[in-house]
Amino acid sequence: MIRKFIEFSINKPLLNHILLIFILMLSIFAYINIPKEIFPPMNLDKITISGGYVGTSADVLDKMVVKSIEDDLQNINELEEIKTSIKNGSFNINAEIKNGSDNVSVLNDVKDVIAGVKKDLPADMTEPVAKIKVHTFPLVLIALSGDISKSELLNKADELKSKLTRFKDLSDITIRGDSDEELEVTLNNEKIKAYGLSPSLVISAIRNISSIFPVGTIKQKAHHLYISTYNGEKKKKEIEDTIIGVGGVKLRIGDIADVAFKLGDALELSHYNGVRNVSLNVAKSKDGNAIALVKKIRKLLKEENKVHKNLTYSIYTDTSVWIKNRLNVVFSNIVFGLMLVFLAMLIFINKGIAFVVALGIPVSFMIGLIATEMLGNSLNMLSLLGALIALGMLVDEAIVVAENIYRHLEEGMERKEAVVQGATEMFPAVLASTLTTVFAFLPMLLMTGNMGMFIRIIPIMITVLLLSSLFEAFYFLPLHAHDFLKVSKEGSFTKLL
């Protein structure tokens, strides 16, 4: 069977070379499309439940919704440790999934729990969201600054965010330094006195105008009231015309106070190069190519700089730079390793065999790159580390096959028969050698937990490259040996000894 396979590869040189060109083209497209990152994406085997109700205290939120969800989660056998963090207005629950459990099935069970709890929640409260926690991929931070008002700066940040969301592989874009719009009611003491009203009763009446419960945040500074409300009236005119009752007197809010919508205090402050600004935190999806995405973002920012000359768009904390630097280090190690391998073959075996064997190394890497992209893995530090580990093993099969073919040529056998016979004889030994090495690394796939998810790419990469090398040694190498391998009168290093 293997003899016919080798004869086919030699008898169909045109098909062999077309396949080689096809592999080259596929590997180029695979390199362009494959995600490039520092570390591989990981499923952290956790379920996160997030939700909230604006204006509620942590204690009320715990009694109202969190405790019920936690109690029901205890009944799901596939969940282990459950951790909850609650703060005023929001909560977050993290539940670890047991090893070997079906994550999607567990997620559906958690969603059923949330659906059962929802009927007891306030009608205007958004249903809590459950999802499998996955590793985040920070990409860049973009700083917007300029000699304009904060509201205008935030509007430009929103516009930029809308344009960035059109990029396919960006998963999350958040604005740092953002502020919610607040309703500012400034009481006019002179008018209040003219109506003969008590300021404390006026404040109490204004507290009751919100159309939701809880009202939100009310801050009193001297004669100012700041009311943050999400579902209340949003138009200034409607609020001014709102009728309130104060001590039996009915009047409009606009009769005793000035109403305005202003930006509230920012939850986060952002500075870049000592200048107060608004920043956009951009993250990518699992399949996103960090280097290609940053190029697109930089191109967009250049266009924005031309349109908005009064604004400065700056990128900082560019993770694609780290990725390129680290990948370049590993790539350089691989290239240096290839040079050393080729040098070792030149020293210990003759140059003809060294050349034929060296031709197969890029082919093995090309096939490995195509397989990696098809399997949905990325090009990262660990996958390249696997390639580096496999580098020395890649030439083993080819050296053994090429040396045996060369031996038959030295003995005077006809070229084609020497290639077929030499490769066929070595197939059982080479196959056994390759499989034993593959089987030595495969148990790493059985590792569980975060470390197992983190390290699984190494045995996958080594296995793919070794199998690629095995295919190359019995399909492409026989043809190369048939075309290029010649008996040399120069002895090898071992023969000279």
Note the pLDDT of residue 258.
76
CATH number listed for the domain at residues 137-179+267-317: 3.30.70.1320
Does this chain's domain 137-179+267-317 share its CATH topology with 181-263?
no
Each residue's pLDDT expressed in tens, for the chain with a length of 497 residues: 788 888 888 888 888 889 989 999 999 998 888 877 777 766 567 888 888 887 788 888 888 888 888 888 888 888 878 888 888 888 898 888 877 778 888 888 888 888 888 877 777 777 888 888 766 677 888 888 777 776 777 788 888 888 888 888 787 788 776 555 566 777 777 777 777 777 777 777 776 665 433 444 445 544 455 444 444 445 667 777 777 777 677 777 777 777 766 555 555 556 556 566 778 888 887 777 788 888 888 888 888 888 887 788 888 878 888 878 877 877 787 788 778 878 887 887 778 888 888 888 888 888 888 988 888 888 887 888 888 888 778 778 888 888 888 888 888 888 888 888 888 998 998 899 889 989 988 888 887 766 777 788 889 989 999 999 889 888 888 888 888 877 765 544 334 33
| Tokens of residue 469, six digits | 């090398």
* Cα–Cα distance, 481 to 333 (Å, whole number): 28
CATH number listed for the domain at residues 181-263: 3.30.2090.10
Note the pLDDT of residue 25.
93
Note the pLDDT of residue 213.
39
Burial class (CB in 10 A: 0-12, 13-18, 19+), 37: buried
Note the pLDDT of residue 212.
36
- Per the listing, tokens 């992209």 go with 373
Assign 3-class secondary structure to the chain.
Answer: CHHHHHHHHHHCHHHHHHHHHHHHHHHHHHHHHCCECCCCCCEEEEEEEEEECCCCCHHHHHHHHHHHHHHHHCCCCCEEEEEEEEECCEEEEEEEECCCCCHHHHHHHHHHHHHHHHCCCCCCCCCCEEEEEECCEEEEEEEEEECCCHHHHHHHHHHHHHHHCCCCCEEEEEEECCCCEEEEEEECHHHHHHCCCCHHHHHHHHHCCCCCCCCCEEEEECCEEEEECCCCCCCHHHHHCCEEEECCEEEEHHHHEEEEEEECCCCCCEEECCEEEEEEEEEECCCCCHHHHHHHHHHHHHHHHHHCCCEEEEEECCHHHHHHHHHHHHHHHHHHHHHHHHHHHHHHCCHHHHHHHHHHHHHHHHHHHHHHHHCCCCECHHHHHHHHHHHHHHHHHHHHHHHHHHHHHHCCCCHHHHHHHHHHHHHHHHHHHHHHHHHHHHHHHHCCHHHHHHHCHHHHHHHHHHHHHHHHHHHHHHHHHHHHCCCCCCCCHHHHC
Fold exhibited by the domain 43-134: Alpha-Beta Plaits (3.30.70)
Q: Does domain 2-33+322-496 have CATH number 1.20.1640.10?
A: yes
Q: Are 342 and 335 in contact, with CB atoms under 8 Å apart?
A: no
- How much is the pTM? 0.63
* Cα–Cα distance, 417 to 420 (Å, whole number): 5
Residue spans of the domains in the chain: they are: 2-33+322-496, 43-134, 137-179+267-317, 181-263
Characterize the bridge pairing of strands 224-228 and 79-87.
unpaired
Note the pLDDT of residue 268.
56
Q: Are 375 and 35 in contact, with CB atoms under 8 Å apart?
A: no
Residues 6+ apart with CB under 8 A from 277: 143, 144, 145, 153, 177, 270, 271
